[in-house]
Chains A and B, each alone.
Chain A
Amino acid sequence: MGSSLTVAPPRPPLSQATDSRILAGVALGLAQVVVGALLVAAGGGLYITAEDGVGARRALVSAAAVCAGLALVAGPWWWRLSHDLASERRERIRVQERDEVAAHIHDSVLQTLALIQRNCAAPKAVATLARQQERELRAWLYGSPSPPSADESLAASLQRVSDEVEDLHGVNVETVQVGDCPVDERLQAVLQSSREALSNAARHSGAKALSAFLEVEPHQVTVFVRDRGCGFDPEAVPGDRRGIAESIMGRMQRHGGKAAVRSTPGEGTEVELVMPR
């Protein structure tokens, strides 16, 4: 198999403030500090020179001037601090979202492209694959809530995932489920990782029959995906293959679960996914 699935999403530098913008900012800041300081001084002066009779109104004006001055001096600093905190948080969320997107693209689009390359002699199959992928990608991009609908249970969802892998790769998946529960965000990650494990097995193991076993217990959800195919040496997987590292291990870890892959060359592979409840 000659297709190498290398995805290295470009990571642009975090922020790109130009020199001129920095200069302008510094100038504006200085001007604000000067005006603020003048206002504070003026307010203070007015208060000191106030005579008893006219004093009340002048004191009020001077207090207002001091407040305005302080606001001008400290305001920008305060505003910048909170702005920095917010943008740092946004950045963190952005990185996490990008990893999710990369994992999703890997699972869907790249898989389909790999399948298309392998089926390029069969135009009908290619057209079907392309159409399926287009539908799926549209649904995902344009927010029509993706296929796993809110009221579908975990067992039903896993069955659907198995069916899809069967259709897509022409293998048999024997799915066994013990217990059931509703699907939340973390179990969505379990489903996506199961899907990735099943398609990996379908594409790389050479086995025609795969097993998927789901067990829902009070404290955790476990999924095993197993094939009796060619197996591989987990140590020898190139680092640029995101399938196991990113789409399975990374995804499970990001959502608080864990994944283990056991494989013996010549005997097959088993992927274990565990998510606490």
Chain B
Amino acid sequence: MTKPTVFLVDDHRLVLTGVRAELGDAIEVVGEASDVDTAVAGIRRAQPDVVLLDVHLPGGGGQAVIEAVARLHPGVKFLALSVSDAAEDVINVIRAGARGYVTKTISGPELIDAVKRVADGDAVFSPRLAGFVLDAFAGEFQGPADPELDQLTVREREVLRHLARGYSYKEIARQLSISIKTVETHASSVLRKLQLSSRHQLTRWASDRRLV
């Protein structure tokens, strides 16, 4: 497989430098930006496989970048990278279209793996995101529910629990005696539900969690 190309968006110089160093030779960095407007312009020009972006950015946040780019360039994929663990930010950036969310404490090899996964069209769940999703989808859904979107299956829940416990896709596949491909399918379908579900709780739940 050819090296995936990546565009970095973060308003902290140190983070940009650090991430660049951690990605090393495995990933080709084709540009970087520190605010929403330069990011949008830069991404349109560079057409990277993956945009690695901070949730918090001057001028509207990572969400604004995704919304400005995604419509015109559906091929570009987004992976959120953040120190912010506020549920509201994380859920919003995923619902805007990011294919995953990882924390900045992630190790170099794990980050490289996550970027490649997103470039391949898979979903990437940090343990914390998996926990958020379990929490947000807990309980009964009130109102006209679309079971396809508003509920997680038993298997999806199981996969999420393992992700929240710190298991990798490979480890989950072994643990549950299923193929890695199946784990990926479950993860992608959870991501789709997270993005498309009409569960009002998702948003309300996320903003409630902000107080924590």
Chain A residues in 8 Å Cβ range of B212: 155
B134 near A178 with CB under 8 A, answer: yes
Contact A213 B164 (CB under 8 A): yes
In the docked arrangement, what's the CA distance between A181 and B72, Å?
A: 45
Residues of A within 8 A of B138 (CB): 178-179
- Give the residue of B161, B166, B167 whose beta carbon is less than 8 angstroms from that of A174: B166
Does A226 reach chain B (CB closer than 8 Å)?
yes
Contact residue range for chain B?
10 to 19
Name the CB-closest residue of B to A172.
Answer: B105
Q: Is A215 an interface residue (CB 8 A)?
A: yes
Q: How many residues of A contact B (CB 8 A)?
A: 15
The chain B residue with its CB closest to the CB of A177 is B131
- Determine the distance from Cα of A178 to Cα of B161 in the docked complex, in whole angstroms: 10
CA gap between A213 and B126 in the complex, in Å: 12
Q: How many A-B residue pairs have CB under 8 A?
A: 42
Map CB proximity to B onto A226-256 as digits: 1 under 8 Å, 0 otherwise: 1010000000000000000000000000000
Contacts of B127 in A (CB 8 A): 174, 176, 211, 213
In angstroms, how far is the closest chain B Cβ from the Cβ of A172? 6
Is A224 a contact partner of B131 (Cβ separation < 8 A)?
A: no
Docked CA distance A142–B103 (Å): 41
**B20 interface residue per 8 A CB criterion:** no
Nearest Cβ on chain A to B78's Cβ, whole angstroms: 22
- Give A17 to B130 CA distance when docked, in angstroms: 62
Are B135 and A211 interface neighbours, CB within 8 A?
Answer: no
**B117 interface contact, C-beta 8 A:** no
Residues of A within 8 A of B134 (CB): 178, 215
Most B-side CB within 10 Å, residue of A174, A176, A226: A176
| Closest-CB distance, A57 to chain B (whole angstroms) | 80
In the complex the two chains form, is A174's CB within 8 Å of B135's CB?
A: no
Q: Is the CB of B130 within 8 A of A174?
A: no
Task: Find out whether the CB atom of A211 lies under 8 angstroms from the CB atom of B166.
Answer: yes
Asked if A226 meets B161 with Cβ closer than 8 Å, knowing A174-B128, A179-B138, A213-B131, the reply is no
A270 close to B (CB within 8 Å): yes
**Per a CB cutoff under 8 Å, which of A178, A209, A270 touches B131?**
A178
B residues with CB within 8 A of A: 103, 105, 107, 127-128, 130-131, 134-135, 138, 161, 164-167, 212
| Contacts A/B (CB < 8 Å), 23 sampled | A172-B105, A174-B103, A174-B128, A176-B130, A176-B131, A176-B164, A176-B165, A177-B135, A178-B131, A178-B134, A178-B138, A178-B164, A179-B135, A211-B127, A211-B165, A213-B127, A213-B164, A213-B166, A215-B134, A215-B164, A224-B165, A226-B165, A226-B167
